[in-house]
Amino acid sequence: MSDSEHAGGKGRRKPITARELARLIGVSQSAVSRAFTPGASIAAELREKILRHAAEVDYHPNAIASMLSRSRSNIVGIVVSDMQNPFYPALIEKLSRALQQVGLQSLLFNIAKGSNLEHQLSAVRRYNVDAVIVISATILSGATLRWVTEGRAAVLINRVVDGGELSCVACDNIAGGRAIADHFHQLGHRRVAYVAGLAHTSTNLERQNAFITRVAELGMTLGGHFDGGEYSYAAGRRAALEVAAKGNIDAVFFANDILAAGGIDAFRDEAGLRVPEDISVAGFDDIAMAGWPRYSITTFRQPLDEMVQVTVGMIEDGSCEPGQSATIRRLSGELIVRKTTGPFVSR
């Protein structure tokens, strides 16, 4: 039973290295490296020869060694904390695809809500990610700032931080809040309510303030302001029950679509209200489900593709590097009127 190297057994055999391949062909290891480096100084002829032999012996450059040598990982850390809201998976999917498009991989840091962030942050740092994308409303601003102080490229998506040191990409929540208020007003509603997700998050504050301000400007009454405590279906349901219990509300703006979905179900099935005949409901984000007939939620659409494009652009051109002054990109969204809002009917 010979144990020669071409045994081809099932065990994990050590992959071939650039140096071995080089010796095999009779060139230098540098040549192999250059053959796999686009734009490197190498004759086209030699490159092809090397690539051909590489394919034969199944050589793949070791990305780890490359990272160490170049002090660059080609990996982007994506920090997320809530994958239950379909908006985030949708965003992550588009992001990771766009990043792969430009040769970057996505290392997922799925941070648990309660646990100590410090420990998780240290993981982000040990892996020398080229950039960090934070897609989370729940991370404390202080900790996030510390990363950038640490000197790492970073982009916050769907969240804006005041300090002016972090680059952000977000939808124009102000315009969104106003648009919903205008829409309610146009339909004839006069007593409206707002349901928050997480009260202290920037997205919530922006939508909330814009909505409330516009409501006042238009002479409508803010009949209530509720806080779900989280951006979830269950929270929307709870808030809706409070709204229903309070009574005398024409229209409700939920801080996002998942809340709205929970709210709509609670109104219809638990509070005995018809939507939109008895009460109008609007959400935010325009997740896929919002377009389904069972919900058909009037909402403010976030420009997902554009957000992704801008974010990847910032990472590519280095404009989110710590040296640069932070960019804040506000992308405009779009009011999508569906069937959860309708004209006011006096009762």
Question: What is the contact surface with a second copy in residues (CB under 8 A)?
Answer: 9-13, 15, 58, 60-65, 67-68, 73, 75, 78, 83-84, 86, 88-90, 92-93, 96-97, 100, 105-110, 112, 120, 122-123, 125-128, 150-153, 165, 233, 261-262, 264-265, 268-269, 288-289, 292-295, 321-323
Q: What is the 3-state secondary structure (H, E, C) of the chain?
A: CCCCCCCCCCCCCCCCCHHHHHHHHCCCHHHHHHHCCCCCCCCHHHHHHHHHHHHHHCCCCCHHHHHHHHCCCCEEEEEECCCCCCHHHHHHHHHHHHHHHCCCEEEEEECCCCCCHHHHHHHHHHCCCCEEEEECCCCCHHHHHHHHHCCCEEEEECCCCCCCCCEEEEECHHHHHHHHHHHHHHCCCCEEEEEECCCCCHHHHHHHHHHHHHHHHCCCEEEEEEECCCCCHHHHHHHHHHHHHHCCCCEEEECCHHHHHHHHHHHHHHCCCCCCCCCEEECCECCHHHHCCCCCCEEEECCHHHHHHHHHHHHHCCCCCCCCCCCEEEECCEEECCCCCCCCCCC
The count of residues interacting with DNA (CB under 7 A) is 29
Q: Which stretch binds DNA (CB under 7 A): 21-29, 192-200, 236-244, 262-270?
A: 21-29
Return the structure tokens found at 219.
Answer: 């002479």
**Nearest distance in Å: CB 139, DNA:** 26
- Residue from 7, 37, 163, 292 binding DNA (CB under 7 A): 37
**Cα dihedral sign for 309, 312, 318, 321?**
positive
Per CB under 7 A, does 18 bind DNA? yes
**Nearest distance in Å: CB 307, a second copy:** 16
- Residue from 7, 13, 43, 288 binding DNA (CB under 7 A): 43
Based on CB atoms, which residue is closest to a second copy, 128 or 213? 128
- 125 binds, options DNA, a second copy, none, Cβ within 5 to 8 A by partner type: a second copy
**Residue list 70-109, contact with DNA (CB under 7 A):** 70-71
Q: Which stretch binds DNA (CB under 7 A): 59-67, 75-83, 93-101, 299-307?
A: 59-67
- 200 binds, options DNA, a second copy, none, Cβ within 5 to 8 A by partner type: none
Q: Which stretch binds DNA (CB under 7 A): 13-21, 108-116, 204-212, 280-288?
A: 13-21
**Residue list 249-308, contact with DNA (CB under 7 A):** none
Half-sphere exposure in the Cβ direction for 228 (13 Å, CA): 31
- 155 binds, options a second copy, DNA, none, Cβ within 5 to 8 A by partner type: none
Per CB under 7 A, does 220 bind DNA? no
Based on CB atoms, which residue is closest to a second copy, 119 or 347? 119
- Residue from 3, 45, 118, 162 binding DNA (CB under 7 A): 45
- 261 binds, options DNA, a second copy, none, Cβ within 5 to 8 A by partner type: a second copy
Task: Give Dmax (Cα) for the chain.
Answer: 90
Give contact residues for DNA (rule: CB under 7 A).
14-15, 17-19, 26-31, 33-34, 36-37, 41-46, 61-62, 65-66, 68-71
